[in-house]
Amino acid sequence: MPELPEVETVMRGIQPALEGRKLINVEQRCAKLRWPIPYNLVIRLKGLRVTGIARRAKYIIWYFDNEIAMILHLGMSGRISITPRRPKVLEKHDHLIFTIEDGTVIRFNDARRFGMVDLVPSNQIFKHKLLKSLGPEPLGNDFSSIGLGIMLAGKQQPIKNALLDQSVVAGLGNIYVCESLYRANISPRRLAMNVKGQRLAELFVNIKDVLNEAIIAGGSTLRDHAQTNGDLGYFQHNFMVYGREGKACKKDGCDGEIKRIIQAGRSTFYCAKCQR
């Protein structure tokens, strides 16, 4: 599933194409993704002008000039592509097609249909059931080492699981939690309440560094992710630990081996020798 860097990359790709532009046509080619698409989506959006594009956690928010907002989630396999004109032949899984006033076409393609779209009054956007309980944005001003420590205090669960809790930090996913813990030399098994002091400070810095580096690299393409121009992300070539089970630890002076365990139903990759 796309994580924060992949969603941020897509959001930044559609911003310049959409902001300030009018939707002259909206096409809906299926009734349901993960949940039913709002039945009146086409009627409500056609002719509106996009006033802003933003991201919250793993959701992309489109704001319109009539005080409506659209929440879009890419799901497992969702992709957004931008082309200067409508293709002669649409792809099988192009479920939503938006045409803007200069002829540019934005297509939402989702082969597995685990994505979602919903409409909500823009002044109620952060009260939506999917957004109202989210924690701070890890790249935002509300995210701090002190705040993270407060959220982790008393949590008797592994730090890996705690960081995947979207009410603790919004947008973090399996890949970037593994990478951040590795860089901070913190075992994914360590109880969250025991991550404090220098360990907490190192974790805070490395979460931000890993995410920023991944965004610059266009995200990670393991299967489906692509940027809006069709280019793949390439941060997967910079993985230090994720997906490297059985390979040597890359840290200088460490002769450990990357191991894989299952935590909360997900694969965790780490070096048992240097992560404590």
Known catalytic residue: 138? no
Indicate the SS3 state at residue 276. coil
Q: Which of 55, 56, 58, 183 is catalytic?
A: 58
Q: Which of 46, 155, 196, 266 is catalytic?
A: 266
What is the spatial distance between Cα 273 and Cα 254, in angstroms, rounded to a whole number? 7
Element (H, E) at 9: helix 4-18
Known catalytic residue: 58? yes
User: Is-contact 241 179, C-beta < 8 A?
Assistant: yes
CA–chain centroid gap for 261, Å, is 23
Give strand ranges (E) for the chain: 23-28, 50-56, 59-64, 68-73, 79-83, 94-100, 105-109, 116-121, 258-263, 266-271
153: left (phi over 0), alpha (psi -120 to 50) or beta: beta
- Looking at the chain, how many residues does it have? 276
The candidate with the shortest Cα–Cα distance to 138, out of 130, 129, 147, 150, is: 147
Known catalytic residue: 3? yes
Question: 3 has which bridge partners?
Answer: none
**In Å, how far are 101, 105, 206, 264 from 182, measured between CA atoms?**
47, 41, 9, 18
The residues annotated as belonging to the active site are 2-3, 58, 266
